[in-house]
């Protein structure tokens, strides 16, 4: 039996993988969003601080005049900020003359428009600045350095990375556990369907208590399998009883004929009784064939009870048996057997299959004809003859019950017409198929592995 | 050969009576046990040559009795009887340790013939290197056969058939037994392959001799004669 590892090829591995991917991408998206938010809100705070600073200085100039403004600017520029983001100022008078502030060069910002923007204070040192026109020749610039956010952003990234790993691990673990549980329950169903024996059905019944979808499926499956087994058992019992009930009176009848025969010395009567006994045996044979067909059909696809059979040895044995017979009847039997062709099957049934095909050939081929029995790996079994073959109209139906192939030269129609039907039933039970191959002469039966399921 | 001492475990009184009647004629002794537990008890205290076990008994299943017998070290050959004669039941019975299996209804002659073959197999006389019977000699290892010291030229398959007759010398071998033990068939082929093979063996055994070697018994059986 193929016992695949529960997570490798099943749908659960895909579901777990999908969950892990979702958890990872959601965490990543959240991190990108958080990082952007930090950068944006920081920028806004910086802009606001610059504007507030600038507005305060403008107010001072408006109410206290230029000297006070210069003094305040010097104060503020000297102030050492607690953490990063230090401020810079520049106040210029006529023709850009430096009046106050720590900056010396006016950046490319137009004061008359109150322009704002990033300016370079020192190499690799930028700041956000806003300029404004206080008087016809008086310009003021306030700049705040961009604070170093790298540390904060790195911390946030680390937090998200750790969180993401934890989330993925949690999802993977939970998913794996859930998947394994589901897989076990589904596998139990599959086991029960592959080989519905008592143990598998018991296991199904035990787990059908779950009140979920799989629990329901399990209950349905357990019921269906139990019903199937009951039906198969009932079918077997019925056919066995039918066989028994019919065979018993036939045997008694046969016994009576034997006794009558023993008591009667009349040769005419003895011939009649002998042929009556033959007919009784034919009826019993037909009955057994019908039961065998039914049994084979009922067990079609069921691998239970099949064991490795050396088909080469089996066919060889039958070849020898029929070779002697062929000599007597004036047929030529050609046997071509590849060694060590092993199949899983029931030896008796396979013997029956080959025997029926050979019986069939010997019955329909007139003396002097050739019959070929060939076996090659695959397995591929061929029984071919150069007899009259099967008439066109009958080719479709020869494998059906009570169909009679060809015209028997012996005039008895060749039994009840169950031989080939039984061949087909046995072949199908072994996942083989039997076909009548088109040949220019005679009939050619091939038994080969099933092509369609 | 002395009569067999047989234990017959069977709940069907009519079937038991029929077998007892026939056994009385052939000089065998049948001890009838009507229940499984009774049969099991008697099998434990008395030595029997063979045991006939019905598969379906009211108290114990035939397979269970068989298992208990084998567990307690009783190796007496067992023939299982069942109304269910189908291949799977047969296989189950044989897997369960039965030495032979016969479907009901059976011919009493068939049953007794099989019991003799079973007993003969179990008593070990079939494993000797040379089997002697009447004027016949069968050298199992050398795969050669003689009648009255004259070599018989048999094909491998004919030798197998001859050996089977020698192993069961003097007993009636039914067609079913031959099919099963020599050709491994549990059915009768429609063509007369068996008769042809027996016919060929008969011709080889009788060629150049005056007395017959194989006897055909009414009811589809054969018996090897002493051939003197």
Q: Where are the domains of chain A?
A: 11-152, 236-298, 307-449
Instruction: Provide CATH 3.40.50.2300 ranges for chain B.
Output: 5-122
Nearest chain B Cα distance for residue A237, angstroms = 9
Say yes or no for a CB contact (<8 Å) between A291 and B187.
no
User: Are B158 and B194 spatial neighbours (Cβ–Cβ below 8 Å)?
Assistant: no
Asked if the Cβ–Cβ distance from A240 to B219 is below 8 Å, we say no
Question: A288 vs B219: CB contact, 8 Å cut-off?
Answer: no
**pLDDT above 90 coverage of chain A, percent:** 25
Mean predicted confidence (pLDDT) in B25-44: 89
- Closest Cβ–Cβ partner in B104, B185, B193 for A322: B193
Which of B185, B196, B219 lies nearest to residue A324, judging by beta carbons?
A: B196
> Distance from CA of residue A303 to its chain's centroid?
22
- What is the distance in angstroms between the Cα of A240 and the nearest Cα belonging to chain B? 6
DSSP state of A111: G
Whole-number pLDDT of residue A26: 92
CB atoms within 10 A of CB B38: 15
Query: How close B107 comes to chain A (CA, Å)?
Result: 8
> Is a pLDDT exceeding 90 seen at residue A434?
yes
Q: What are the chain B neighbours of A419 within 8 Å (beta carbons)?
A: 190
The Cα-based distances of A320 to A292, A315, A354, A355, B44 in angstroms read 25, 9, 13, 12, 45
Minimal Cβ distance to A240: which of B86, B184, B199: B86
Mean pLDDT of A277-291: 79
How close is the nearest chain B Cα to the Cα of A248, in Å? 6
Q: Do B197 and A347 touch (CB under 8 A)?
A: no
Contacts of A62 by beta carbon, 8 Å cutoff, 6+ apart: none
CB A432, CB A445: distance < 8 Å: no
Residue A432 parent element (H or E)? strand A432-437
Taking residues A396-401, report their average pLDDT: 83
Q: Is the ipTM of this complex over 0.85?
A: no
* CB-based contact B191 A285, cutoff 8 Å: no
B87·A346 Cβ contact <8 A? yes
| A341 SS3 class | coil
CB A108 within 8 A of CB A90: no
Domain B125-224: top CATH class: mainly alpha
* Contact between A325 and B196 using a beta-carbon 8 Å cutoff: yes
- Contact A414/B87, CB-based, under 8 Å? no
A11-152 and A307-449: same fold? no
* Interface test mutation site (partner B, options A256, A288, A315, A367, max chain B beta carbons within 10 A): A288
Q: Are B39 and B66 in contact (CB under 8 A)?
A: no
Confidence of residue A448 (pLDDT cuts 50, 70, 90): very high
B29-33 and B5-9 strand pairing: parallel
Mention every residue, 6+ apart, whose C-beta is less than 8 A from residue A240.
Answer: A291, B83, B84, B85, B86
Mean pLDDT in residue range A255-268: 79
Specify the higher pLDDT residue, A171 or A291.
Answer: A171
Helices (H), B36-86: 36-45, 62-71
Mutate to test the interface with A, among B187, B197, B198, B204 (most CBs of A within 10 A): B187
Which among A254, A289, A328 is the top mutation candidate for probing chain B, defined by the most B β-carbons within 10 Å of its own β-carbon? A328
Per CB-CB distance under 8 Å, the chain A contacts of B85 are: 240, 243-244
pLDDT for residue B95 is more than 80 = no
Phi/psi at B145 (nearest 5 deg)?
-130, 145
Residue B224 to residue B214: CA distance in whole angstroms? 5
Cα separation, B52 vs B73, whole angstroms: 17
Whether the predicted pLDDT of A312 surpasses 70:
yes
Return the H-helix or E-strand segment holding A144: strand A139-145
Q: Where in chain B is the domain with CATH 1.10.10.10?
A: 125-224
E strand intervals along A302-409: 307-310, 332-337, 342-345, 370-376, 380-385
Instruction: Work out how many CB contacts closer than 8 A connect A with B.
Output: 88
Cβ(A375)–Cβ(A337) below 8 Å? yes
- For B39, how many CA atoms within 13 A lie in the half-sphere containing its CB? 31
Instruction: Quote the pLDDT of residue A276.
Output: 87
Placement of tokens 């705070």 in the chain: A45
Give the confidence band of B123 by pLDDT, cuts at 50, 70, 90: confident
Question: How large is the C-alpha radius of gyration of chain B?
Answer: 19
Show the CA angle centred on residue A102, arms to residues A99 and A104, nearest 5°. Answer: 70
Cα dist from A321 to B153, B179, B190, whole Å: 17, 11, 13
Report CB contact under 8 Å: B84, A240.
Answer: yes
pLDDT number for residue A372: 95
> What residues contact residue A236 under an 8 Å CB cut-off, 6+ apart?
A295, A298, B86
Count of CA atoms in the C-beta half-sphere (13 A) of A245: 6
Architecture of domain A11-152: 2-Layer Sandwich (3.30)
What pLDDT does B86 receive? 56
> Chain A contacts of B56, Cβ < 8 Å?
none
What residues pair up with B145 in beta bridges, in sequence order? Answer: B138, B152
**B213 touches B162 (CB < 8 A):** no
pLDDT at A302: 67
Looking at residue A213, what is its pLDDT?
A: 85
Residues β-bridged to residue B51: B7, B78
Of residues A210 and A190, more confidently modeled: A190
What is the distance between the alpha carbons of residues A406 and A412, in angstroms, rounded to a whole number? Answer: 12
What's residue B64's pLDDT? 87
The band of B157, judged by pLDDT with boundaries at 50, 70 and 90, is confident
Whether A111 contacts A132, CB under 8 Å: yes
Q: Best residue in A235, A317, A412, A422 to probe B by mutation, most B CBs within 10 Å?
A: A317
What does the block give as tokens for A46? 């910086």
Residues of A with CB under 8 A from a CB of B: 236, 240, 243-244, 247-248, 251-252, 255, 258, 261-262, 281, 285, 288, 291-292, 295, 305, 314, 317-318, 320-322, 324-325, 328-329, 346-349, 351-352, 355-356, 358-359, 362-363, 414-415, 419
Q: How far is CA A181 from the centre of its chain?
A: 17
Contacts of A240 in chain B (CB under 8 A): 83-86
| Lowest model confidence (mean pLDDT) among A12-16, A275-279, A426-430, B123-127 | B123-127
Is the pLDDT reported for residue A147 higher than 80? no
Q: What residues of chain B have any CB closer than 8 angstroms to a CB in chain A?
A: 83-88, 91, 104-107, 155-157, 183-193, 196-197, 199-200, 218-219
**B85 confidence band (pLDDT: 50, 70, 90):** low
- Which architecture, in CATH terms, is B5-122? 3-Layer(aba) Sandwich (3.40)
B218 neighbourhood in chain A, CB within 8 Å: 258, 261-262
CA A212 to chain centre: 22
Mean pLDDT to the nearest integer, B159-167: 90
Q: Give dist(CA B185, CA A347) in Å, integer.
A: 9
Average pLDDT, chain A: 83
Q: Which residue of B has its CA nearest to A321?
A: B193
Tokens of A235: 């079918």
Of A12-16, A65-69, A232-236, B84-88, the one with minimum mean pLDDT is: B84-88
Q: Does domain A307-449 have CATH number 1.10.10.410?
A: no
Provide the shortest C-alpha distance from residue A244 to chain B (in Å): 6
pLDDT for residue B215 is more than 70:
yes
User: What number of other Cβ atoms are within 10 A of residue B152's Cβ?
Assistant: 20
Measured between CA atoms, how close is B161 to chain A, in angstroms? 11
* pLDDT band of A305, cuts 50, 70, 90: low
CB nearest to A348's CB, from B87, B197, B219 = B87
pLDDT tens by residue, A22-58: 999 999 999 999 999 988 998 899 899 999 999 999 9
Please tell me the distance in Å from A414's CA to the nearest CA on chain B.
9
- Mean pLDDT (whole number) for A8-27: 83
> What is the sign, positive or negative, of the torsion defined by CA atoms of A300, A303, A305, A311?
positive
Pick the residue with more confidence: B126 or B224?
Answer: B224
A380-385 β-sheet, strand order? A332-337, A370-376, A380-385, A444-449, A432-437
In 3D space, the residue among B68, B160, B170, B62 whose CA is nearest the CA of residue B119 turns out to be B170
Q: What whole-number distance in Å separates Cα of residue A204 and Cα of residue A206?
A: 5
Cα B24 versus chain centre, distance = 18
Whole-number pLDDT of residue A159: 92
Say what the pLDDT of residue A415 is: 56
Give the DSSP H/E element, type plus range, for residue B102: strand B100-103
List chain A residues with CB under 8 Å of B188: 281, 285
């Amino acid at each position: 039996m193929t016992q695949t590892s529960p997570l490798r090829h099943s749908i659960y591995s895909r579901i777990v993988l999908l969950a892990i991917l979702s958890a990872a991408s959601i965490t990543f998206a959240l991190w990108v969003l958080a990082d952007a938010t930090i950068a944006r809100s920081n920028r806004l705070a910086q802009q606001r601080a610059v504007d507030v600073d600038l507005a305060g200085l403008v107010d001072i100039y408006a109410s206290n005049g230029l000297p006070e403004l210069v003094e305040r600017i010097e104060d503020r520029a000297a102030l050492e900020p607690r953490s990063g983001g230090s401020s810079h100022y520049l106040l210029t008078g006529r023709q850009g003359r430096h009046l106050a502030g720590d900056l010396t060069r006016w950046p490319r910002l137009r004061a008359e428009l109150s322009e704002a923007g990033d300016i370079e204070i020192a190499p690799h040192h930028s700041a956000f600045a806003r300029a404004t026109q206080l008087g016809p020749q008086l310009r003021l610039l306030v700049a705040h350095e961009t604070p170093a956010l790298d540390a904060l952003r790195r911390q946030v990234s680390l937090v998200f990375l750790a969180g993401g790993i934890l989330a993925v691990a949690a999802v993977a673990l939970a998913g794996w556990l859930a998947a394994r549980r589901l897989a076990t329950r589904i596998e139990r169903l599959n086991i029960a369907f592959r080989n519905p024996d008592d143990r598998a059905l018991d296991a199904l019944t035990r787990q059908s208590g779950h009140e979920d979808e799989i629990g329901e499926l399990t209950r349905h499956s357990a019921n269906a399998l139990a019903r199937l087994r009951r039906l198969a058992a009932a079918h077997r019992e019925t056919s066995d009883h039918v066989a028994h009930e019919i065979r018993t009176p036939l045997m008694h009848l046969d016994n009576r004929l034997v006794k009558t025969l023993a008591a009667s010395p009349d040769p005419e009567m003895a011939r009649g009784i002998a042929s009556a006994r033959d007919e009784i045996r034919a009826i019993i044979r037909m009955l057994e064939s019908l039961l065998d067909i039914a049994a084979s059909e009922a067990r079609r696809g069921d691998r239970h009870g099949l064991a490795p059979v050396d088909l080469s040895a089996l066919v060889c044995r039958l070849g020898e048996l029929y070779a002697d017979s062929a000599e007597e009847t004036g047929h030529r039997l050609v046997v071509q057997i590849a060694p060590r062709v092993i199949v899983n099957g029931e030896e008796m049934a396979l013997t029956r299959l080959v025997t029926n095909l050979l019986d069939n050939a010997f019955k329909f081929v007139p003396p002097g004809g050739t019959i070929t029995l060939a076996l090659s790996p695959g397995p591929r079994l061929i029984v071919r003859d150069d007899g009259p073959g099967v008439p066109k109209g009958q080719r479709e139906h020869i494998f059906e019950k009570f169909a009679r192939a060809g015209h028997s030269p012996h005039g008895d129609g060749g039994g009840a017409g169950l031989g080939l039907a039984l061949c087909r039933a046995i072949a199908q039970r072994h996942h083989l198929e039997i076909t009548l191959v088109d040949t220019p002469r005679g009939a050619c039966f091939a038994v080969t592995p099933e092509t369609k399921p | 050969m002395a009569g067999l001492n047989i234990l017959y475990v069977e709940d069907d009184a009519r079937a038991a009576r029929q077998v007892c009647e026939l056994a009385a004629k052939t000089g065998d002794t049948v001890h009838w046990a009507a229940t499984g537990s009774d049969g099991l008890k008697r099998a434990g205290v008395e030595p029997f040559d063979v045991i006939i076990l019905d598969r379906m008994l009211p108290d114990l299943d035939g397979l269970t009795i068989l298992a208990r017998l084998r567990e307690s070290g009783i190796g007496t050959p067992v023939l299982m009887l069942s109304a269910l004669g189908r291949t799977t039941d047969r296989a189950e019975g044989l897997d369960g340790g039965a030495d032979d299996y016969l479907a009901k209804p059976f011919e009493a002659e068939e049953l007794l013939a099989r019991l003799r073959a079973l007993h003969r197999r179990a008593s070990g006389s079939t494993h000797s290197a040379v089997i002697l019977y009447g004027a016949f000699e069968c050298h199992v290892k050398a795969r050669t056969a003689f009648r009255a010291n004259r070599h018989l030229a048999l094909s491998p398959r004919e030798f197998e058939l001859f050996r089977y007759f020698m192993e069961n010398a003097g007993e009636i071998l039914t067609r079913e037994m031959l099919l099963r033990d020599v050709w491994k068939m549990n059915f009768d082929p429609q063509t007369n392959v068996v008769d042809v093979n027996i016919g060929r063996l008969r011709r080889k055994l009788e060629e150049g001799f005056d007395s017959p070697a194989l006897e055909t018994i009414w009811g589809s059986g054969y018996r090897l004669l002493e051939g003197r």
